[in-house]
Chain A
Amino acid sequence: MNKPDYISRYGIRNSLSTRLSLWVVLFATAIFVASLGYLFWVSRNAVKREAIRGATRELDNTVLRVNGILEDVELAANNLEWLIYKDLDNPDKMMEYSRSVVLNNSFLNGCSISFEPYYYKSKGKYYSCYSNNNGHQVFTRQEGNDQYQYFYLDWYLLPKLLGQPCWTEPYTDQEEDDDGIMDSRMMVSYCKPLIGNDGSYVGALTLDISLEWLSETISAVKPYPNSYSILIGRGGTYLVHPDPEMLFYQSIFTPELVEPNPELRSLGDAMQDWQEGMRELNIDGQRCFVYFKPMMTTGWSVAIVCPAHDVFGGFRRLQNTVILIVILGLFLMFVLFSNIIRQQLLPLQTLAAQAKVIAGGDLKHTLPQSKRHDEIGVLNNSFSEMQSSLVTYIHELTTATAKRERIEGELQIARNIQMDMVPRTFPPYPDRKDIDIYASITPAKEVGGDLYDFFLTGNKLHFCIGDVSGKGVPASLFMAVACNLFRLLSNQGLPPAEVARQINDRMSENNEQLMFVTMFIGQLDLTTGRLDFCNCGHNPPIILSPKPHFMDCLPNTPIGVCPGWEFKDQVLENFLGTPVLLYTDGLNEAENLVHVEFGNDKLISILSEHKFVNAQELIETLQKAVAAHVGQAEPSDDLTMLCINTVKL
């Protein structure tokens, strides 16, 4: 799947600095989100608690102020009531009392002392003494008549039916002012029942006050810019509300007529039940906190409506500012970190570029040393040192290779010389049908320590096979000496034991390296078939007929070890027609990968199963068998084989 474009575009995958910066910024973001989230949550609750405290305080003060005025009205009514009862038999006094109470209490707009129909026979059906203060003067009159049948009105019926003082619901009162213009005012009345001596209802004493002051007092409560206050009456009607469409025309329950509104219903019920508290609800689509408190004497309830965005306005602004600062901070942090890390990693880029140059083959390209002591400085200097060491090493390697190539060349020449020291032309005596000889020599290294030789003097065949201790150049030089001495001494017609003794004496001299050579030296008289031989610590040859077996040899000792050693000859008669195999331990001790030797048993077994044809065929067969056994393993020793078969003519 292809990676999104932005990854490659902004180098997130390829830029360590961007990736590191992103990780740091992400981690910082997580910390900020967690800590700021908690801080905001705690702060919000604190703001809310403070808002409730503030609003409750405001409400308490307002209710206290309003109650103070309402209590003044109640006190005035109580004082007047005493006078009415004192002069209940004197209806005309009622006019006087009605007027005086309005004159003496400037906060009163009116006072009515009204009586049941025909209570005073002299006054007829209607007798309601009403005084009214229009702001300039006080008018007093009897206001009941056929058009104004006061005993059907709230302020008269409520105290009558309830049998106790009460406040009416607010109502509109239309008064004619001084210029004869009808003025509409919202009024509320405090009513007390008047009870006669016989306990019967006599009438009602009513004191009126304007609601304007109440509206002004409550509307002035405005703890937040968009908050407002409301006052609802017993029936939920808005008595104070900033929206004139709502004022007196709607109740808090009106929206419920259209669709259920449980939040508003709950608030209305609580306010109507004269509870005090706070509700959180949606009003006109915005979340608001409503703090409410009852006015106990009236049954009204006042509330402050505070839009949540106002309550949390300052908090929100602070929150948004903090969030903005944090976002900007994180962005700047990202940019700054990216640059700092990029600056810090600049040597790495240089290093990478220079490493690329070196990788391109310019090994002599030098890296500048860094003056920094931090990890990057250490890396740069280590790389520089590595590069320097590499250059030195390559130089040394080049020198060593050249030297080795020279040595290898010389060794190759030495090998050729060594190989030329042994007869390698087969058949060596093509005109002699009675001699079948074949030999092979395979050094484990460039030059080896194995040797063989044969030559004819008259009708005598001299032959030998040997194995110098160790391998390589020292062994080859020792072999060369042994080889020359064999040919030199055998040529003098000396018997094999004497040849061995003299070679031993010569080679033991100045043999500080304590090298030695095992040898089998033989002289075969081709006329008589007598074989004289001396085995100097070498593997006994294998006589191949009638069945393969090891030649019975004296052990003697290897040449070069014991100067003055007396070697003993052995003789086998009638040896003609008997094929014999001479070999070095490179044959029977050849190891495979798991270091298992080829072994004498296997050698004898192969030879037993093999039908002898001629010397060459036999040696080639054994070479194949050894190669199959050794497999991939490195040759452990030089391998030399010499097979001689003579025929009596």
Chain B
Amino acid sequence: MFTPQWTAQSQFAGYYVAQELGYYREEGLNVQIAHPNATQGSDERIKSNTSQITTLQLAQAMQLIDQGTSLVNLLQTSMNNGLLIVSRRNMNPMEQKGAKVALWRAGFTQLVECAAKEADLQFEWVRAANMMNLFVAGAVDASVAMSYNEYYQILQAGIKITESNIYRFADHDCNIQEDGLYVTREYYNKHKEEADKFARASRRGWEYAAAHPDEALDIVMKYVRRNNIATNRIIQGKMLEEILRLQLDPDSGEREFRIRPDMLEKANDLMLRNGEISRAITMEDLSR
């Protein structure tokens, strides 16, 4: 059972492609893809062993490891950070002290919380299953968003935003990798071969998606419809485009599928400083 960390969307295009084009089957794997619901995140699913393989953001994985859930990074897909804070008011969100800021109930918020703490912004965090409805209704002052997902939802909602009311973490010495493929170390030790095969097939899926984005989008839309997700091809196309961009290493411009030690170190620094983790997470902690 494989659980991506969010509902069906282009963020997981490579895995859908691998499944649909039979790459998992070719490796002799019988994979089921089950998405989390709005109130139970993928981290909880892997902790409870509801799913064996999941995707997690690097910071999220580090926090889980620090909390005692030993994890193995099978495949690092993201090479850049896509986190944003978007303000409802026409001003820099990082200058809105005490603002109500919506963020995901389901996690991925370690970086935001660290940055807010460091800037002493004293944000009033509003955790929500669907931040965008709160943001659109004007119930919050700002919202955390992903450059490939919520950002486009905001545009689609007709809200006029400019670069001056967006804070991009990647542009502020906070370019820390995000999505990767994880299993518990316990599972990995028992099913090393299957896990490696899954990682290999998944990488093939992503490489195919990058080379054939239109075909990949068709496959994504199939999963979208199957899961009855309220989205459309246009917005999923934008998401796939941005996801594939974030997968390119900022230095080499290549899809490297690895954890960069400098980014790991940067994440450790930030999270240690802000008490999000109690010890530095090493490459050994994450590697197979």
Give the B-binding residues of A (Cβ under 8 A): 146-149, 152-154, 157-158, 161-162, 166, 168-169, 172, 184, 234-237, 245-246, 248-258, 265, 268-269, 272, 299
Contact A257:B133 (CB < 8 A) given known A147-B40, A161-B126, A184-B228: no
- CB pair B238–A257 under 8 Å, yes or no, is yes
| Complex: chain A residue closest to B39, CB-CB | A149
Interface segment, B73-81, B155-163, B190-198? B155-163
Contact with A along B217-231 (1 / 0, CB 8 A): 000000000001011
Task: Please indicate the chain B residues that have their CB under 8 angstroms from the CB of A236 in the complex.
Answer: 156-158
The distance in angstroms between the C-alpha atoms of A457 and B105, with both chains bound, is 173
Task: Please indicate the chain A residues that have their CB under 8 angstroms from the CB of B158 in the complex.
Answer: 235-236, 251-253, 265, 268-269, 272
The distance in angstroms between the C-alpha atoms of A299 and B133, with both chains bound, is 13
Q: Would you call B263 an interface residue if the criterion is a C-beta within 8 Å of the partner chain's C-beta atoms?
A: no
Q: Closest CB of chain B to A38's CB: distance in Å?
A: 41
- CB pair B129–A235 under 8 Å, yes or no, is no
- CB pair B157–A235 under 8 Å, yes or no, is yes
- CB pair A258–B234 under 8 Å, yes or no, is yes
Task: Please indicate the chain B residues that have their CB under 8 angstroms from the CB of A161 in the complex.
Answer: 100, 126, 134, 139-140
Q: Would you call B278 an interface residue if the criterion is a C-beta within 8 Å of the partner chain's C-beta atoms?
A: no
The distance in angstroms between the C-alpha atoms of A268 and B100, with both chains bound, is 27
The distance in angstroms between the C-alpha atoms of A235 and B134, with both chains bound, is 10
Contact with A along B111-149 (1 / 0, CB 8 A): 000000000000000111110111011111000000000
The distance in angstroms between the C-alpha atoms of A269 and B130, with both chains bound, is 23
| Complex: chain A residue closest to B44, CB-CB | A146
- CB pair A251–B136 under 8 Å, yes or no, is no
| Complex: chain B residue closest to A252, CB-CB | B158
Task: Please indicate the chain B residues that have their CB under 8 angstroms from the CB of A166 in the complex.
Answer: 137
- CB pair B137–A253 under 8 Å, yes or no, is no
| Complex: chain B residue closest to A154, CB-CB | B133
Q: Closest CB of chain B to A159's CB: distance in Å?
A: 9
Contact of A235 among B39, B136, B139, B232 (CB under 8 A): B136
- CB pair B139–A157 under 8 Å, yes or no, is yes
Q: Would you call B152 an interface residue if the criterion is a C-beta within 8 Å of the partner chain's C-beta atoms?
A: yes
Q: Would you call B235 an interface residue if the criterion is a C-beta within 8 Å of the partner chain's C-beta atoms?
A: yes
- CB pair A235–B133 under 8 Å, yes or no, is yes
- CB pair A249–B132 under 8 Å, yes or no, is no
List the 3 closest pairs (A to B, CB-CB), nearest first: A235-B157, A161-B139, A235-B136
Q: Closest CB of chain A to B205's CB: distance in Å?
A: 25
Q: Closest CB of chain B to A294's CB: distance in Å?
A: 14
The distance in angstroms between the C-alpha atoms of A168 and B136, with both chains bound, is 11
Of B37, B127, B133, B228, which is in contact with the most chain A CB atoms at under 10 Å from its CB?
A: B133
The distance in angstroms between the C-alpha atoms of A620 and B8, with both chains bound, is 139
Task: Please indicate the chain A residues that have their CB under 8 angstroms from the CB of B38 in the complex.
Answer: 152-153
Of B40, B100, B130, which is in contact with the most chain A CB atoms at under 10 Å from its CB?
A: B130
- CB pair B139–A254 under 8 Å, yes or no, is no
| Complex: chain A residue closest to B160, CB-CB | A269
| Complex: chain B residue closest to A271, CB-CB | B158
Contact A153:B129 (CB < 8 A) given known A148-B39, A235-B157: yes
Contact A152:B105 (CB < 8 A) given known A158-B133, A166-B137, A169-B133: yes
Q: Closest CB of chain A to B51's CB: distance in Å?
A: 15
The distance in angstroms between the C-alpha atoms of A236 and B159, with both chains bound, is 9
Task: Please indicate the chain A residues that have their CB under 8 angstroms from the CB of B152 in the complex.
Answer: 257
Task: Please indicate the chain A residues that have their CB under 8 angstroms from the CB of B132 in the complex.
Answer: 235
- CB pair B136–A152 under 8 Å, yes or no, is no
Task: Please indicate the chain B residues that have their CB under 8 angstroms from the CB of A269 in the complex.
Answer: 158
- CB pair B39–A254 under 8 Å, yes or no, is no
The distance in angstroms between the C-alpha atoms of A212 and B37, with both chains bound, is 25
- CB pair B137–A162 under 8 Å, yes or no, is yes
Task: Please indicate the chain A residues that have their CB under 8 angstroms from the CB of B228 in the complex.
Answer: 172, 184
The distance in angstroms between the C-alpha atoms of A255 and B233, with both chains bound, is 11
Contact of B139 among A146, A158, A237 (CB under 8 A): A158
Q: Closest CB of chain B to A235's CB: distance in Å?
A: 4
Taking A169-B133, A235-B157 as known contacts, 4 extra A-B pairs with beta carbons closer than 8 A to each other, sorted by chain A number, are: A153-B38, A162-B137, A168-B133, A299-B137
The distance in angstroms between the C-alpha atoms of A254 and B128, with both chains bound, is 24
Task: Please indicate the chain A residues that have their CB under 8 angstroms from the CB of B133 in the complex.
Answer: 154, 158, 168-169, 235
